[in-house]
Structure 1
Amino acid sequence: MGKSSLVKAAHATVRRKTKKKLDKDDVKLVEIHREDIATLPRCLHLMADAGIKHGHRFIVFCDDLSFDKDDTSYKSLKAVLDGGIEGRPENVVFYATSNRRHLMPRDMMENERSTAINPSEAVEEKVSLSDRFGLWLGFHNVSQDQYLDMIKGYVKHHGLKIDDDALHAEAIEWSMTRGGRSGRVAWQYIQDLAGRLGVKLKAE
């Protein structure tokens, strides 16, 4: 499972449990692109109103969030996450995925250390954006056994018929040709396998 897939799965789970418990579907997933971060304050205002009037709750999701060297829009996002004078709406949470730990390129950090009058303050100002996120989840490389467990789990869930030895050999070859092992690589193999077997994968 990839980063964005995890967010979508979490949303689906919350929706399902909320609907079962409260008989209503009031958790909305709203995706915003990094280029539209400047519109986020207005969006949050509308979501806050929707919470007051209709009881809706929102997950605001930004996929592959990162900022380039000369990009200053991260300052706007910092202000939004802090809440400003109005404060953050209680019915909104913000999720983001990124391939950069601090959302900034490494060379940007190194440049700040080498050119700033006070290097530590300059770097802290840049990385403080990531500190606004209360919970971090890391996606690390998986072992071969973990990768094969993912494959077997998918095979069982989707009812794919294949010999264990053939599955093992194919899955390892697939990961080698893709240059690594991950949830995404495992899922891509399953999609390929299902296509060859003529099996339609389940929606969930």
Structure 2
Amino acid sequence: MYRLTSKLVIYKNIDKDSILFRLSNICQQFAAGDYEKADLITDIYVEINRMLDISTRYGFDKNLWHNYLAFVLAMTENPFTLVSEKVGASVGTVNKFARSDFCIFKQLFDYDFSEMEKELDIDCFTIITNYEAVVKSEQIFNKGVSEKVQQLSRAIEQAKDETELYQIITDFYKTYGVGKFGLNKAFRISNDDKSGILCPITATSDVILEDLVGYESQKKELVQNTEAFVEGRRANNVLLYGDAGTGKSASIKGILNQYYSHGLRMIEVYKHEFKELPKVIEAIKNRNYRFIIYMDDLSFEEFEIEYKYLKAVMEGGLESKPENVLIYATSNRRHLVRETWSDRSDMSEDELHRSDTMQEKLSLAERFGVTIAYFKPMRKEYFNIVINLARRHPEIKLTDEELRAEASKWEMRHGGMSGRTAQQFIDSLLGSVDLS
């Protein structure tokens, strides 16, 4: 194995502390006979443990060695993979090195560990290449990454020759991308030095726009702006504002799920992290994806100044916002920054031209080219939401009239009429023992 990994060119930048290179060094020691049996077995088990850890985090099954190698190919960012992400298979001298590297990976796929197992009296490689994973909840691992990597693994297993192997891997890069941005939907700012400025959110909501009952005009406007963005046309930053529990956040989550396959990615940022926005934009501006920076429940009190960072990023800084980045925010406040009556008058004991302060605050909201209002439903609309949600669950046997009566009681005790209240009512029914 060491003989193979030492010949890698394009993929030479793989972490030398990776399972691949550490196993390669173990195989070199074994081939040279330069080892203590107990120590070598311990080293092998350490790497097997690491592979099991990755397999658990990503829900891998069957041949864990193949899945791991496919994972390495899918996650390694280098000039070749980043170009392939944009254009797929292409001509150029670099392809000779790429084809050679892919042939090496194919040989690694087919690597025979049986001699090592026999000599050391172990069977761990046989086990991981015929693995039956424990069935896990999708919330435990990143299902999207798992499915893509295992799909790549199976395709490489079945590749007939070098040309087919090259096409399979470059097509994968063109279709799904490479690295964490290619395989994941959503990200948050990271405090982990190994992850860079952004780390993946591994378990995202699977809500779709159709799950949100009502608000058709609002969803249509949001879809139109997002479609323009993912298609490379001009689009605006979006502010969804209005009453709590009306589906603002659900709409944005639905947008992510609807357009992920079109290259849309989302980065969740909280206001205490706004000073990191320039670093975030620097990390994503040249990637072949469309990024929405998502700010949920955005608002500022008078004493909070973080909004100044956001204003500079949206418009006004020396470096313009990249064309592959938009900002979507939700808020209960139309103007985002808390206003007082004194803001509306130049008569103030502590500040001249107080109305200038109000204009500064309003200028943040004005940087959102699209503003979409979400307000609490009227009683008829609220009952329509309840009935639509209930009919998605055949186990709820109540008639429409019974649902209206019970939903009316529920909303009076739980904060009034909203989509959130309606969903909570349905959840209560589904959680009850007797649904008759």
- TM-score by structure 2 length? 0.40
Whether 2:247 is the aligned partner of 1:2: answer yes
Candidates 365, 369, 376, aligned match of 1:134: 369
Which moved further from structure 2: 115-124 or 179-188? 115-124
Secondary structure of 1:136 counterpart: strand
Q: 2:144: which partner in 1?
A: none
CA distance in 2, matches of 1:68, 1:197: 45
How far the C-alpha of 1:67 sits from its partner, in A, is 1.3
1:157 partner SS: coil
Query: Given that residues 339 and 358 in structure 2 are in contact (C-alpha distance below 8 angstroms), is that contact kept between their aligned partners in structure 1?
Result: no
Please state how far the C-alpha of 1:117 moved relative to its aligned partner: 2.2
Amino-acid identity (%): 35
| Structure-1 residue corresponding to 2:342 | 110
**1:198, CA displacement in angstroms?**
7.9
Letter in 1 for 2:318: I
TM-score, normalised to structure 1, is 0.83
| CA deviation vs aligned residue, 1:90-137 (integer Å, no higher than 9, x gap) | 111111111121111233x63463424223322111110000011111
What SS does structure 1 have at the residue aligned with 2:285?
Answer: helix
Q: Which residue of 2 aligns with 1:23?
A: none
**In 2: Cα distance, 1:88 partner to 1:197 partner:** 53
Unaligned runs of 5+ in 2: 1-245
Query: In the alignment, residue 91 of structure 1 is paired with which amino acid?
Result: N
1:73: how far off? 1.8
Residues 165, 112 of structure 1: CA spacing in aligned structure 2 closer, same or farther, 3 A cutoff? Answer: closer
Structure 2 counterpart of 1:97: 330
CA contact (8 A) 2:343 2:358 kept: no
Match in the other structure for 2:393: 158
Q: Map 1:46-65 onto structure 2 (within 5 A).
A: 46-49=283-286, 51=287, 55-65=288-298
Cα distance in structure 2, aligned partners of 1:198 and 1:3:
33
Deviation (angstroms), 1:158 = 3.2
1:189 corresponding residue in structure 2: 425
Name the structure 2 match of 1:45.
282
Kindly provide the amino acid, as one letter, of the partner of residue 110 in structure 1.
S
Q: Which has the larger radius of gyration?
A: 2
CA contact (8 A) 2:271 2:306 kept: no
The whole-number CA distance in structure 2 between the counterparts of 1:164 and 1:63 is 34
Report the CA distance between 1:86 and its aligned residue: 2.4
Return the alpha-carbon distance in structure 1 between the equivalents of residues 342 and 373 of structure 2: 23
For 2:404 and 2:433, the matched residues in 1 are separated by 16
How many positions carry a matched residue from both structures? 186
How far apart in 1 are the matches of 2:408 and 2:414? 10
Cα distance in structure 1, aligned partners of 2:356 and 2:408: 46
Deviations 1:133-178 (A, max 9, x none): 1111112121110001111111122333322222111111111112
Whether the 8 Å CA contact 2:300–2:307 is kept in 1: the answer is yes
Q: Is 1:177–2:413 an aligned residue pair?
A: yes
More off after superposition, 82-91 vs 147-156: 82-91
C-alpha deviation, 1:83, in angstroms: 5.8
C-alpha RMSD over aligned residues: 2.0
Query: Highest relative contact order (Cα 8 Å, sep 6+), 1 or 2?
Result: 1
Contact (CA 8 Å) 2:302, 2:339: kept in 1 or not?
no
1:34 Cα deviation after fit: 1.0
Counterpart amino acid of 1:146? E
Query: Which residue of structure 1 aligns with residue 317 of structure 2?
Result: 84
Alpha-carbon distance between aligned partners in 1 of 2:434 and 2:425, rounded to the nearest angstrom: 14
Q: Is this contact kept in 1: 2:410–2:425, CA < 8 A?
A: yes
> Separation in 2 of the partners of 1:71 and 1:15?
34
